[in-house]
Amino acid sequence: MPKELIRLSNCTMAFDDEVVLDNINLYINDKEFLTLLGPSGCGKTTTLRIIGGFQMPTSGDVFFDGVRINSVPPHKRAVNTVFQKYALFPHLNVYENIAFGLRVPRVEEQKNEMGKVLSRRKVKLSEKEIDQRVMEMLEVVNLRGFEKRRVTSLSGGQQQRVAIARALVNKPKVLLLDEPLGALDLKLRKDMQNELKRIQKAMEITFIYVTHDQEEALAMSDTVVVMDGGKIQQIGTPEDIYNEPKNAFVADFIGESNILDGIMRSDGVVEIFNRQFACLDSGFEKDEPVDVVIRPEDVDIVPENEGQLKGTVTNVTFKGMQYDIIVDFYGFKWLIQTTDLSPVGSRIGIKIDPDGIHIMKKSQYSGMFGDYSSYSEEYEEISDAAYEPGEDGQEDGDEK
């Protein structure tokens, strides 16, 4: 049974009149890799900053190991942060950056049973211990030999590693990572994903990871928290999130989805385009309007006369592993991924297995996503998952 480490209970955050977090409830287990995933402005960075102690929720409570820590300042929390753009100290070299946290004299308090402070004494680590721990960390992040280098002379990936080492050297129980790979190029990003996962396993601590990159989230996390508009949309394992999205937003944000209007005729039977399809979902009212998700890879292309639905191919893009084709069914455009080429203009039929159909309750997001009529723009948006500076509703959202 995993142990609960952090709990956010009814956390709301508002700057002036703008609600950035809306009644968030979330618990995070010990040694878990949890990802806060969502588009910019969804409140994921604010959530992280609340856990880090940089912001106090307007209302609601934060618990750490069962103790309420709302007003505990950052320097007294057993968490450390890897900041967006790293925030390394430019006037210090690699070694001193990593040693920074170890050199800060800590005040050790002795308390009696009543919690009253009996004595305070400053604790300083010896140079020998500092050296040992810094060297250990350099080993962990593969930066042996870089001790004397200026941080400004390092590459993005190396700076990233210094930032991780600087946070981990303090032996935090939780490491917070705020879009740590955002500024790196794609190849390096993939390497660092593996690296981070390895470090998390080796150090046996909790990682709370903020990203807007769904692939990153799926690849690394034990638990994914999908957020939008300051609300949690869904919490689950990467598989749950991908296979059983709760609403149209999650289905659209995670991977590619065709989202259609359907009507639940009975358990296991859904009607799309006036045709009935077998599915595995149940528990809906009879004749309840629903959102139907069909992933592009779950569609089989068959000759026109054998298909459950018939349509015309309007666009083909070669993707290397597969073709992405856009098919027009009665005016609604679907994205289908297939290894067989069907040329533009050809008529095709499709079949969908019951386990390829996922039914969702109607939500505020119904009708907003999942139509590939505006295919090209949509694609640009996805490939543009690159770095966006200035994240979320941070305190001075009026800065820019």
Partner 1 sequence: MNLGSRPGLFSRLFTALVFIFLYAPIFLLIIFSFNAGNSNSVWHGFSLHWYGELFQDRLIMGGVYTTLLVSLLATAIATVAGTFAAIGFYNMRRRWREPLMVINEIPMINADIVTGVSLCLFFVAAFAAWNGFVTWMEQTYRLTAPRLELGFATLLIAHISFNIPYVVLAIMPKLRQMDKNLIDAAQDLGCTWMQAFWKVVVPEIKPGIVNGMLIAFTMSVDDFVISYFTAGPKTSTLAMVIYSMTKKRVTPKINAVSTLLFGAVLLLLIVVNVRQARQEKAAAKVRRR
Binding site for partner 1 (CB under 8 A): 52-54, 73-75, 79-81, 83-85, 87-91, 100-101, 104, 106, 152-153, 166-167, 170, 396, 398-399
For partner 1, give the closer residue by CB, 140 or 313.
140
| Distance of alpha carbon 368 from alpha carbon 329, whole angstroms | 18
Tokens of 90: 């430019």
**Rounded to 5°, angle at Cα 112 from 108 and 115:** 80
- Shortest distance (Å) from residue 124 CB to partner 1: 12
Burial label, 394 (beta-carbon count in 10 A; 0-12, 13-18, 19+): middle
For partner 1, give the closer residue by CB, 16 or 384.
16
For partner 1, give the closer residue by CB, 81 or 223.
81
- Shortest distance (Å) from residue 303 CB to partner 1: 59
- Shortest distance (Å) from residue 260 CB to partner 1: 44
Q: Are 63 and 79 in contact (CB under 8 A)?
A: no
Q: Which amino acid is at 219?
A: A
Strand order through the sheet with 67-68: 18-29, 4-15, 59-64, 67-68
For partner 1, give the closer residue by CB, 62 or 167.
167
- Shortest distance (Å) from residue 178 CB to partner 1: 9
For partner 1, give the closer residue by CB, 153 or 266.
153
For partner 1, give the closer residue by CB, 146 or 369.
146
DSSP β-bridge partners for residue 212? none
Buried b (16+ CB within 10 A) or exposed e, 203-224: eebbbbbbbbbbebbbebbbbb
CA 281 remoteness from chain centre: 27
